[in-house]
Amino acid sequence: MVDQNLEKKILELKNKYPRKESALMPALMLAQKANSNYLSEEDIEKVSAIIGVPPGKSYGVTTYYSMYNVLGKVGKYHLQVDTNIPATLMGALEIVKHLEKRLGIKAGETTPDGLFTLSTVECLGSCGTCPVIQVNDTYYENMTPEKVDQLLESLKKGVYPERAVEYNYGTACNVLLKNRGAKDATSIATYQANGGYKALDKALKMEPQAIIDEVKNAGIRGRGGAGFPAGVKWGFLAKNTGKPVYLVCNADEGEPGTFKDRQIMEYDPHLLVEGMAISARALGAKLAFIYIRGEFGWIADILEKAIAEAKADGKLADLDIIVHRGAGAYVCGEETALIESIEGKRGQPRMKPPFPAVEGLYGCPTIVNNVETLASVPFVVEHGADAFKKWGRENNYGFKLFGVSGAVNKPGVYEYPMGVSFKELIAAAGGYKGKVKAAIVGGLSTPILKVEELETLKMDYTSCEEHGTALGSGGVMVIGEEFSIPEIALRTIQFYAHESCGKCAPCAQGSHTVVLILKKLLAGHGEPKDLEILERIVNTINVVGSTLCPTGQAYAAPVKAMVEKFRGEFEALIK
Amino acid sequence: MQIMINGNRMEAKEGQTVLQAALANGVYIPHLCYHEKVGAAGKCRACVVEIDGMRGLQTSCSVLAKEGMVVNTQTETALQAQRLVIDLMLSTGKHDCLACEQNGHCELQDAAYFLGIERPSILYADIDREIDTTSEFVHVDRNKCISCGRCVAACNGTVVNQVIDFGMRGHSTEIVFNTNKKMADSTCVQCGECSQICPVGALIDKNSIGKGRIWELDKVSSVCPYCGVGCKLELYVDRKTNKIVKVEGAEDGPTNDGMLCIKGRYGYDFVGHPDRLKTPLIKENGQFREATWDEAIDLVVSKFSAIKEKYGPDSIMALSSAKVTNEENYTFQKLVRTGFQTNNVDHCARL
Amino acid sequence: MTNDIPGIKKSDVAIIIGSDTSEGHPVIAARIKQAVMEGTLKLIVIDPKEIKMADFAEIYAQHRPGTDVAVLNGIMHLIIKNGWEDKEFINERVEPESYEALKAEVANYTSDYVEKISGVPAAKLEAIAELFGKAKVGALYYTMGITQHTTGVDNVKSTANLQMLCGNMGVPGGGVNPLRGQSNVQGACDMGALPVCYTAYQPVATEAVQQKMEAFWGVKLSNKPGCTMTVAFDKAYEGEMKAFYIMGENPLISDPDLHHIEHAIDNLEFLVVQDIFLTETAQKADVVLPATTYAEKDGTFSNTERRVQRLSKAVNAPGQAKHDWEIHQLVANKLGLNWNYGCAEDIFKEITQCTPSYAGMSFERLGRKGLHWPCPTADHPGTPVLHIGKFSKGLGTMFAIPFKAPAEVPDGEYPIYLTTGRILQQFHTGTMSRKTPGFNRLAGPHVMMSVEDAEALGVGNGEDVKVSTRRGSIVTKAFITKRMPKGTAFVPFHFAEAPANILTNNALDPIAKIPEYKVCACKLEKA
């Protein structure tokens, strides 16, 4: 129920944003929380009226993002098990089976007492600590059947158990993970004691253009996945438009296999805040946003606290940073979809041009950068472009976080110079666990490599391209010998079909159709023409421009590679 | 400016997209989400082409024509992409042309015809969506919807009634009315803009169903008989039955840009109504009887003449009508002024 | 309208006063909403009913029925007080003494005083004045909510005062824009279906005009202005008017105080009705002549923005029904006038010869887009915006207009304001719209009332309510809505079975003779 108290909160939200529509998503989330985790039609209509948007628009928003519960009520505890590729590689399906047995329900059902709803969900961004169960807003990672039992016992008593954190990490560069392991790493005091905010002090004495030049000279390529040089992007910013400029941090980390940005935000939030403060100064932005995926609620809290500390400490001067929470949509990692989402809409990509640097958020010039990119800016400014370029090689400079998951002994996040050999990275992650047949090295959207192809691979843009894949977000998933590639292909395409925004026909219908074809093959009903049609779809969609945004290629390329490199496994499924 | 399309030099205007230029030069490129009124959406991806110097495929609906641009609409890559889009749409919906009201002016059918897709070939999805027949005037069949978004754009951006939107996500995406209500229960005012702009058979004027194939109907341009806005209409007429079977707003109508309201679009039943007056009537002993025109006119003229004679011309009052044409208002006041010699003529402008 | 419809895109701000635009003129409403959504236009809505357009308004003000002059004067007072008036326009285009008179009059209308009369909070009035007064180009739209009052002419003049004050006349996107309620009501006026003038408003009493028309038609003409319809019914009621020839109208539903009208019609010696159906009025006739509908004929309509557009014959008329002009020709020739029109185009050609504002038009030139009058010559492009550079009469005149209360206001016995009007799904007396069954299922007779009044009455939605005034009473269904203010009820006038005009007051505007449909006093009872 949307009562007066809630209405007041919604009106406050409305005033927080430059445009009222931006308050829609957080307002709907508040209404859902106030109504035992469920949004009724009445709630939607009421919230729409308060914000001043048509109810159809709100309904479209609530059914677009997976975290709104509109179509069915859920239990008091919504247990959501990540069953995406990295999780599957690390035993998530056993956890699901165990939960089904313990609760006496199937995934998608609610216990008769209304206490538990069990769901399988797509990547929760915890690939290094899988299996993971999200209970309402709280993550429980590195789950085992025993831990599941303890969790259920505790929840039955109405108590959320303490989150135990057992991460593997390592750094060879000591920049992005520098404060990792420090006591009170998230506090401004710790950050400053370890030399934080010096770059900002320096930046405040520099001309904005000098900052831009430094970043451009460093040649840092966007760490979100596309690898576009950040300084060049900044250079595209439309000047003297008379409109405000916005800086947006893309913290919608959602590419399966990727769990690097959360390391920065969760353990060194001031590094990001400092990076944003410097970047905002360079770009002339007075308002910045951090768009963080909705599942990372507690991380958003950490960021808000860090921003408040920085503000109180006078670090931000006239800059405001709003932490805007997503609500479960992979496509919002695409910058125009992300902008749409901040504007309170269904997070679907826009046509380009115009590019955000010219016409982005609220139609104003906007720069969208990934967390890791922005967190790298203080180093570049403090130590100079040349210091940054000590690492890596032409077109591939600097340090980078790599997430390693799957069949390795120490899955986790590792900071290495660009161009580190794949072998060295795997060694840092404890080496292969068991016999390995392949790996996906740049997040799920990149083409798979057979184990022998990995021998010569270096982890940078150029080497990955030479090996027929892409560095992407640096999310490495190692696939053990026991896994069937057609099953991995199905799991891959299921993710993209689930996350396809539905705006363009070939992506939405194509991904769904590939799911149906692979299911048919795996059910033993395959015919030769099925594989032909599958290849026709992925080959066609693999062409840039066949879909509105890169999501089409994000599923076409990996599935295409799986079929091409492991054709025998697919053909074996055909009668 | 000049651009090359498929090896032929063609004229394009400043501000025209490649698609607009191609269509203006008689080169068809399949397109479904683009409509002049709602603009390019880049959604359906059926209009992809290759352009020299640009990477991959480009949506011709969104790329502006530039002097010297070299466009190929029919490379193997482009055709393959166009075919996949149309084939997927046909395969993931229920597009049974035989009994479909849209047959003959369906844009999906046009695209399939052009690409030579005789039957869908990617048949895996099982489609069975409930048909919404609740609305008085619009028949909603989501099995035929291709999510082109034209109705959503038109409902929100053109008529601004803000009823239709997209709900759900991915391949489950569908158009919804308000919070996914039945159309009749929604705030829809049934202006019919959505049915007019729908490229396929998903949103259909209910009263026109089964009343005649589009190619059998004559299209006649007129003006709406209701309020004073003067919306231009296209009347679709069945000559054999002498009936209007469908009305659309003229897209080039200067006041309405194709828009109409519920009355203009659906309020044509009165024209062919059985209660229409068909002969003159004369009242005798309190009862009407049918009369010939000669009888009726004789009576009218003799009575008016007598009254004028007896009481003077100003004892006669004439009420003209805001629903008849200029020509008829003119002849009426001329008749009153020259025939009855009075200025007692008025109409209901005030009411 | 002084301005054209596509020009809506050129306004920075617009006032809608006395028009339920999305119900009465949905396509113009759509264009206004488009401009609001695109961010080019800020909308101000002033109406007793919280109409749908209010949802799109920057400012919505709910005023008491019949207090338009006070509100408009109040806005002008604030604009002048703050120096937001268009001084250049006033200096160059307005009679100075008339401006001084206006200034003196509106000086009395302080925000507090206006609030007392109209119920519009002072702060809201100030916000309206600021938004409208400071805007570069402002438009004003109204319909019968302005005109159907005993102060109808005052109201209209007040809208013109405001637009001259702000320099919004003769500007694309500005203007005073009454939205016409019927397809060819503009044309009926243009064509001289008025008691005081020939086509193009050429006065019958002016000698030169009379001579010109006598020469043109070759017949002696009367120079005595005729009766307006409302006056004619009064005369018929008194027994003075003897015969009526009614074409395509149904006064037995549309006119005020129906008991009075019925009596007047019963008094006639002879009644001819020419129509497409046997309407309530036609049933009273001595002779009924069957005519054709828009779809059965060629010809032209002139719309609310003075655009003359062609219609083409789509279907054949039923039975022996004839075009109205054909019937006129039969009568004329029987009277010995020797008319010889072969088609509508013949008549249009004659119209262009005696109608200066249509002189440059032809069917061919009208084409698919039509032409705005005045279009005086064959190469004139038409005039989408009137009064550019100068008014046709020279300098514009402002009028000092004091507020006058409606003829009847609520009292102890009849405590509720009653206002009447249209709803989207029906049209006028229903002769056309009620033949579509779907419309009747969507919209039947009802009385719209506030939640508070319904609660006080103890009626629920859809329950029967008796609405009574000093003239009569009807029983109809309650339609309870938050859009109605407490103390005001609304009855649509389309329905013969619950005719609103049994209730309405036939008090007339002294000049325009328009009845006060928009305000009277009523009482509501549970039926």
Interchain pair A545, B55: CB under 8 A? yes
Question: What is the DSSP code string of C239-251?
Answer: T---EEEEES--H
Residues B257 and B302 in one domain: no
SS3 C446: strand
Residues B228 and B338 in one domain: no
| Residue A492 contacts B, CB cutoff 8 Å | no
C361-417 pLDDT per residue, tens: 999 999 999 999 999 999 999 999 999 999 988 999 999 999 999 999 999 999 999
The residue of chain C nearest to residue B331, with distances taken between CA atoms, is C325
Chains within contact range of chain A (3+ C-beta pairs < 8 Å): B
- % residues pLDDT > 70 (chain B): 99
The residue of chain B nearest to residue C297, with distances taken between CA atoms, is B325
Interchain pair C191, B329: CB under 8 A? yes
| Residue B89 contacts A, CB cutoff 8 Å | yes
Q: What is the pLDDT of residue C431?
A: 86
SS3 C371: strand
Closest CA to C182 of C303, C278, C297, C26: C303
Per CB-CB distance under 8 Å, the chain A contacts of B177 are: 56
Q: What are phi and psi of B330, to 5 degrees?
A: -65, -50
Residues B261 and B293 in one domain: no
Interchain pair C185, B252: CB under 8 A? no
Q: Tell me if the domain spanning A4-64 has CATH number 1.10.10.
A: yes
Chains within contact range of chain B (3+ C-beta pairs < 8 Å): A, C
B5-19 pLDDT per residue, tens: 999 999 999 999 999
Residue B273 lies in a domain: no
Tell me the residue ranges of DSSP E strands in B52-183. 58-59, 70-72, 131-132, 138-141, 164-167, 174-177
Beta bridge partners of C122: none
Question: How many whole angstroms separate alpha carbon B185 and alpha carbon B167?
Answer: 17
Interchain pair B225, C313: CB under 8 A? no
Interchain pair B42, A533: CB under 8 A? no
CA distance to partner chain B, nearest, from residue A190 (Å):
43
Cα angle, residue A479 at apex, residues A538 and A409 outer, rounded to 5° = 150
Asked if residue C29 lies in contact with residue C22, where contact means CB atoms within 8 angstroms, the answer is yes
The residue of chain B nearest to residue C427, with distances taken between CA atoms, is B226
B171-190 pLDDT per residue, tens: 999 999 999 999 999 999 99
Closest CA to C465 of C404, C391, C524: C524
Residue B351 lies in a domain: no
Task: At A539, list the tokens.
Answer: 């080959």
- Total domains, chain B: 3
| Residue A523 contacts B, CB cutoff 8 Å | no
- Candidates 2.40.10.220, 1.10.3720.10, 3.30.70.890, 2.40.40.20; CATH matching C416-526: 2.40.40.20
Q: Which residues numbered 52-81 in A keep a CB inside 8 Å of some CB on B?
A: 54-60, 63-64, 66
Classify domain A77-156 at the CATH class level: alpha beta
Residues B148 and B244 in one domain: yes
Task: At A65, list the tokens.
Answer: 């993002």
Question: How many whole angstroms separate alpha carbon C416 and alpha carbon A393?
Answer: 84
Asked if residue B161 lies in contact with residue B49, where contact means CB atoms within 8 angstroms, the answer is no
The residue of chain B nearest to residue C348, with distances taken between CA atoms, is B327
B31-51 pLDDT per residue, tens: 999 999 999 999 999 999 999
The dihedral through the CA atoms of A507, A510, A514, A520 has a sign that is positive
Asked if residue A342 lies in contact with residue A289, where contact means CB atoms within 8 angstroms, the answer is yes
- Which CA distances in Å does A87 have to A405, A442, A491, A504? 9, 16, 11, 29
Question: How many whole angstroms separate alpha carbon A409 and alpha carbon A129?
Answer: 12
Residue B184 lies in a domain: yes
* Range(s) of the domain holding residue B180: 139-266
Q: What is the pLDDT of residue A73?
A: 84
Interchain pair B327, C347: CB under 8 A? yes
The CATH H-level (homologous superfamily) assignment of domain C6-178 is Dimethylsulfoxide Reductase, domain 2 (3.40.228.10)
Q: Could you give the residue range(s) of every CATH 3.40.30.10 domain in chain A? A: 77-156
| Residue B111 contacts A, CB cutoff 8 Å | no
Interchain pair B165, A513: CB under 8 A? no
Interchain pair C293, B225: CB under 8 A? yes
Per CB-CB distance under 8 Å, the chain B contacts of C195 are: 343-346
Residue with tokens 């319909």: C143
Mean pLDDT, residues A225-252: 96
A287-325 pLDDT per residue, tens: 999 999 999 999 999 999 999 999 999 999 899 999 999
Question: How many whole angstroms separate alpha carbon C30 and alpha carbon B227?
Answer: 14
CATH topology of domain A171-389: Rossmann fold (3.40.50)
Strand pairing report for A366-370 and A392-393: unpaired
Asked if residue A291 lies in contact with residue A273, where contact means CB atoms within 8 angstroms, the answer is no
For residue C418, is pLDDT > 70?
yes
Question: How many whole angstroms separate alpha carbon A81 and alpha carbon A78?
Answer: 10
Mean pLDDT, residues B111-136: 94
Per CB-CB distance under 8 Å, the chain B contacts of A355 are: none
The residue of chain B nearest to residue C366, with distances taken between CA atoms, is B254
Q: Could you give the residue range(s) of every CATH 1.20.1440.230 domain in chain A? A: 485-571
For residue B215, is pLDDT > 90?
yes
CATH topology of domain A401-474: Ubiquitin-like (UB roll) (3.10.20)
Question: How many whole angstroms separate alpha carbon C50 and alpha carbon C486?
Answer: 11
Question: How many whole angstroms separate alpha carbon C514 and alpha carbon C147?
Answer: 7
Q: What is the pLDDT of residue C310?
A: 97
Residue B132 lies in a domain: no
Residue B105 lies in a domain: no
Residue B318 lies in a domain: yes
Interchain pair C25, B229: CB under 8 A? yes
| pLDDT classification of C30: cutoffs 50, 70, 90 | very high
Tell me the residue ranges of DSSP E strands in chain B. 2-5, 8-11, 48-51, 58-59, 70-72, 131-132, 138-141, 164-167, 174-177, 203-205, 218-223, 232-238, 243-249, 281-284, 287-290, 316-319, 345-346
Task: At C508, list the tokens.
Answer: 């007339």
Question: How many whole angstroms separate alpha carbon C129 and alpha carbon A115?
Answer: 58
Cα angle, residue C62 at apex, residues C60 and C68 outer, rounded to 5° = 105
Beta bridge partners of C243: B316, C270
Interchain pair C432, B270: CB under 8 A? yes
Question: How many whole angstroms separate alpha carbon C141 and alpha carbon C16?
Answer: 5
Read off the CATH number of the domain in which B249 is found.
Answer: 2.20.25.90
For residue C73, is pLDDT > 90?
yes
Residues B148 and B238 in one domain: yes
- % residues pLDDT > 70 (chain C): 100
Q: What is the pLDDT of residue A316?
A: 96
The rounded Cα A238 to chain-centroid distance in angstroms is: 28
Q: What is the pLDDT of residue B349?
A: 67
Mean pLDDT, residues A121-150: 92
Per CB-CB distance under 8 Å, the chain B contacts of A533 are: 121-122
Listed in sequence order, the residues at least 6 apart from A149 whose beta carbon sits closer than 8 Å to its beta carbon are A102
Residues B147 and B258 in one domain: yes
| pLDDT classification of C465: cutoffs 50, 70, 90 | very high
Question: How many whole angstroms separate alpha carbon A329 and alpha carbon A274?
Answer: 27
Per CB-CB distance under 8 Å, the chain A contacts of B167 are: 59-60, 63-64
Q: Which CATH number is C185-372 given?
A: 3.40.50.740
C179-236 pLDDT per residue, tens: 999 999 999 999 999 999 999 999 999 999 999 999 999 999 999 999 999 899 999 9
Residue B210 lies in a domain: yes
Interchain pair B350, C229: CB under 8 A? yes
Mean pLDDT, residues B25-33: 97
| pLDDT classification of B194: cutoffs 50, 70, 90 | very high
Residue with tokens 């004619």: C232
Q: Which of B270, B283, B322 sits opposite C184 (nearest CB)?
A: B322
Q: What is the CA radius of gyration of chain A?
A: 23
CA distance to partner chain C, nearest, from residue B121 (Å):
41
Residue with tokens 């490495």: A476
Strands lying side by side in the sheet with C371-372: C299-302, C307-311, C371-372
Chains within contact range of chain C (3+ C-beta pairs < 8 Å): B
Question: How many whole angstroms separate alpha carbon B231 and alpha carbon A175?
Answer: 67
Interchain pair B347, C227: CB under 8 A? no
CA distance to partner chain B, nearest, from residue A70 (Å):
10
Before A131, cis peptide (omega within 30)? yes
Q: What is the pLDDT of residue A36?
A: 87
ipTM comes to: 0.94
Residues B242 and B174 in one domain: yes
On the CB side of C171, how many CA atoms lie within 13 Å of its CA? 24
For residue A276, is pLDDT > 80?
yes
Read off the CATH number of the domain in which B31 is found.
Answer: 3.10.20.740
C504-522 pLDDT per residue, tens: 998 889 888 888 999 999 9
For residue A575, is pLDDT > 90?
no
Specify the amino acid at residue A384: G
Q: What is the pLDDT of residue C362?
A: 97
Q: Give me the torsion for CA of C447, C451, C457, C460, rounded to 10°.
A: 70
H helix intervals, A429-503: 461-466, 485-499
Strand pairing report for B174-177 and A392-393: unpaired
Per CB-CB distance under 8 Å, the chain B contacts of C278 are: 275, 277, 281, 288
End-of-domain residue from the set B266, B298, B318: B266
Per CB-CB distance under 8 Å, the chain C contacts of B268 are: 295, 436
Question: How many whole angstroms separate alpha carbon C175 and alpha carbon A254?
Answer: 55
B-to-C residue pairs, Cβ atoms closer than 8 angstroms: 464
For residue B338, is pLDDT > 90?
yes
Asked if residue A391 lies in contact with residue A399, where contact means CB atoms within 8 angstroms, the answer is yes
Considering the segment(s) A485-571 as one domain, its CATH architecture is Up-down Bundle (1.20)
Question: What is the DSSP code string of C109-146?
Answer: --HHHHHHHH---HHHHHHHHHHHHH-SSEEEEE-HHH
* DSSP for residue C228: -
Residue B67 lies in a domain: yes
Mean pLDDT computed over every residue of chain C: 95
Question: How many whole angstroms separate alpha carbon B32 and alpha carbon B106?
Answer: 10
Before C485, cis peptide (omega within 30)? no
